[in-house]
């Protein structure tokens, strides 16, 4: 049995970050990963392939809208086989770089799934046994198949299948209205597929505010996506032509048919094969590995990071969790836990949504006095001349000093604009600090000055004590 200072189970973003960090500290590290291909969800079946396809279809969408801007573009269409080749080539480069890191010799790499046999020992699928003083669990997540009548028995796609398409489907029913569902539904619509979304919740993207979700819903309807929200699915079945979904909405029973079905009803932590009972590691009510602020599980020498523990399935957080866990495990001094009040999240629809820090609902629930102000893109010079007028920007600040607390952007280039505020938020800047900075005209970023100025005016108008 080989013994290590740290054993990392899963070589994705969180696991690789933990292994790399521990190796930099001079520790003996092993990584066990039994996936068919190395690289992790983000590189192989998540962030990078989806954003490759979304960018391509955004270019296609703008080309088709060229007439609005006075451009003569006779035909704009997709060659799915060529787009697929471009995606495969691009993702292969990212994956190869990760594989090089895993195979660099800085730590031992084992190609097998790990199963706990005790608090400090695991057995791999090939029978190899490993022991470690500390263990980091980063096995990610897998597609969830909820107990909807007929779903398991009906052939359906997952996000893996949609990301690997090399043809234009005639029609697709999308089950779900979360981030993956929305991003890939818009991709499908833009390549020419008839898309119907059936969502259980009253609106799309229940993780964001109602006003932000409404921006995406309007854009989807304008592009011809059929939306059914607030539904209850009664039955799914295969037909000679594809699939049929029977559901209720507003007290009425409806049936929608399509050539294909896309299950985008979420993901669940990938813990089933770990035999966590043997290690004494607890799960929470959502099936995720329970962790504290240092990423420690219920067994303090065992850590976890990434989708397997959450609470947010976001890559930059997974990396931060892996680095924090490794440093804490080996006694690095002066560590700070990940600050949940600095949460940054992006939905890559078009228009995209981005949130940073505390949002209105959280501020209200925590009884934090705050000021807020917003400004619409349809009254902003640069977005008007771009014909990109969906949405708004909204900022939140403390009611006494105007210190930035959070931001919400629903509109063009929100994914990049939000980064104008990440540094100031982390540095506890006020609206006055931000207004002292230069903002070039005409730019999209300039739109942020309007809510900043409004909050500054509200602060100036408050009664003096």
**What are the DSSP calls for 418-432, one per residue?**
THHHHHHHHTT-BHH
407 close to 355: Cβ distance less than 8 angstroms: yes
Q: State residue 359's pLDDT score.
A: 97
Clarify whether residues 255 and 297 are in a common domain: no
Clarify whether residues 289 and 372 are in a common domain: no
Q: Is residue 186 part of a domain?
A: yes
Q: State residue 45's pLDDT score.
A: 87
pLDDT above 80 for 464: no
Q: State residue 39's pLDDT score.
A: 86
Q: Is residue 153 part of a domain?
A: no
Average pLDDT score over residue span 354-374: 97
380 close to 333: Cβ distance less than 8 angstroms: no
Q: Within 10 A of 262 (CB to CB), how many other CB atoms are there?
A: 27
Average pLDDT score over residue span 234-247: 96
Quote the CA–CA distance of 452 and 421 in Å, as a whole number: 11
E strands, 239-383, in order? 243-249, 252-258, 260-263, 267-269, 302-304, 344-347, 353-357, 370-376
Clarify whether residues 175 and 132 are in a common domain: no
Q: Is residue 103 part of a domain?
A: yes
Clarify whether residues 302 and 377 are in a common domain: no
12 close to 141: Cβ distance less than 8 angstroms: no
Clarify whether residues 9 and 123 are in a common domain: yes
Per cent of the chain over pLDDT 90 is 94
Q: Is residue 384 part of a domain?
A: yes
Q: Is residue 152 part of a domain?
A: no
pLDDT above 70 for 434: yes
CATH number at residue 235: 3.50.50.60
Clarify whether residues 225 and 311 are in a common domain: no
- Number of domains the chain contains: 3
Q: Is residue 281 part of a domain?
A: yes
CATH number at residue 444: 3.30.390.30
Question: Of the residues 294, 329, 364, which one is the last residue of a structural domain?
Answer: 329
Clarify whether residues 211 and 272 are in a common domain: no
Per cent of the chain over pLDDT 70 is 100
448 close to 421: Cβ distance less than 8 angstroms: yes
183 close to 349: Cβ distance less than 8 angstroms: yes
Question: Of the residues 240, 265, 290, which one is the last residue of a structural domain?
Answer: 265
Clarify whether residues 241 and 253 are in a common domain: yes
Least confident residue range of 64-73, 274-283, 434-443: 64-73
- Model confidence at 465, pLDDT cuts 50, 70, 90, reads low
Question: Of the residues 279, 305, 329, which one is the last residue of a structural domain?
Answer: 329
Clarify whether residues 294 and 261 are in a common domain: no
The four Cα atoms 95, 100, 105, 108 give a dihedral, to 10 degrees, of 10
pLDDT digits (tens, 9 = 90+) for 54-109: 999 999 999 999 999 999 998 899 999 999 999 999 999 999 999 999 999 999 99
pLDDT digits (tens, 9 = 90+) for 378-419: 999 999 999 999 999 999 999 999 999 999 999 999 999 999
Clarify whether residues 34 and 80 are in a common domain: yes
Closest to 157 measured CA to CA, from 168, 177, 167, 143: 143
Clarify whether residues 448 and 411 are in a common domain: yes
Q: Phi then psi for 105, rounded to 5 degrees? A: 95, 0
Clarify whether residues 94 and 83 are in a common domain: yes
pLDDT digits (tens, 9 = 90+) for 188-217: 999 999 999 999 999 999 999 999 999 999
pTM for this structure? 0.95
Q: Which domain holds residue 230?
A: 159-265
Q: Is residue 315 part of a domain?
A: yes
Q: Is residue 154 part of a domain?
A: no
């Amino acid at each position: 049995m080989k013994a290590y200072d740290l054993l990392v189970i899963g070589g994705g973003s969180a696991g690789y970050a933990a292994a790399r960090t521990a190796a930099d500290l001079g520790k003996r590290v092993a990584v066990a990963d039994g996936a068919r291909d190395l690289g992790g969800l983000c590189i192989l079946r998540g962030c990078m392939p989806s954003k490759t396809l979304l960018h391509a279809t955004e270019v296609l969408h703008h080309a088709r809208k060229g007439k609005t801007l006075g451009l003569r573009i006779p035909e704009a269409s997709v060659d799915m086989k060529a787009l697929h080749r471009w995606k495969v080539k691009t993702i292969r480069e990212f994956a190869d770089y990760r594989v090089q890191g895993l195979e660099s010799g800085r730590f031992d790499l084992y190609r097998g799934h790990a199963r706990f046999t005790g608090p400090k020992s695991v057995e791999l699928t090939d029978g190899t046994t490993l022991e470690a003083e500390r263990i980091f669990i980063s096995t990610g997540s897998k597609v969830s198949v909820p107990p909807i009548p007929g779903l398991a028995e009906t052939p359906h796609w997952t996000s893996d299948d949609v990301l690997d398409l090399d043809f234009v489907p005639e029609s697709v029913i999308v089950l779900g209205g979360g981030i993956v569902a929305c991003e890939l539904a818009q991709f499908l619509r833009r390549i020419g597929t008839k898309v119907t979304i059936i969502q259980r919740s009253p609106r799309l993207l229940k993780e964001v505010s109602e006003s932000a979700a409404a921006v995406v819903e309007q854009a989807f309807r304008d592009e011809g996506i059929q939306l059914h929200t607030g539904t209850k699915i009664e039955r799914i079945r295969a037909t000679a032509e594809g699939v049929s979904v029977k559901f209720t909405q507003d007290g009425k029973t409806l049936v929608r048919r399509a050539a294909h079905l896309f299950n985008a009803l979420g993901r669940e932590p990938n813990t089933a094969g770990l035999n966590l009972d043997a290690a004494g590691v607890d799960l929470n009510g959502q099936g995720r590995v329970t962790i504290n602020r240092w990423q420690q599980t219920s067994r303090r020498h065992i850590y976890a990071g990434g989708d397997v523990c959450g609470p947010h399935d976001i890559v930059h957080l997974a990396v931060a969790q892996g680095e924090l866990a490794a440093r804490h495990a080996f006694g690095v001094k002066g560590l700070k836990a990940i600050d949940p009040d600095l949460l940054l999240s992006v939905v890559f629809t078009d228009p995209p949504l981005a949130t940073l820090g505390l949002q209105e609902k959280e501020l209200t629930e925590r009884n934090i006095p705050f000021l807020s102000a917003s400004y619409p893109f349809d009254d902003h010079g640069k977005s008007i001349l771009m014909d990109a007028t969906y949405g708004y920007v909204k900022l939140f600040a403390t009611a006494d000093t105007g210190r930035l607390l959070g931001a919400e952007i629903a509109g063009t280039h929100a994914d990049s604009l939000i980064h104008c505020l990440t540094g100031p938020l982390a540095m506890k800047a006020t609206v006055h600090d931000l207004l002292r900075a230069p903002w070039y005209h005409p730019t999209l970023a300039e739109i942020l000055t309007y809510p900043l100025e409004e909050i500054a005016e509200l602060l100036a108008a408050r009664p003096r004590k």
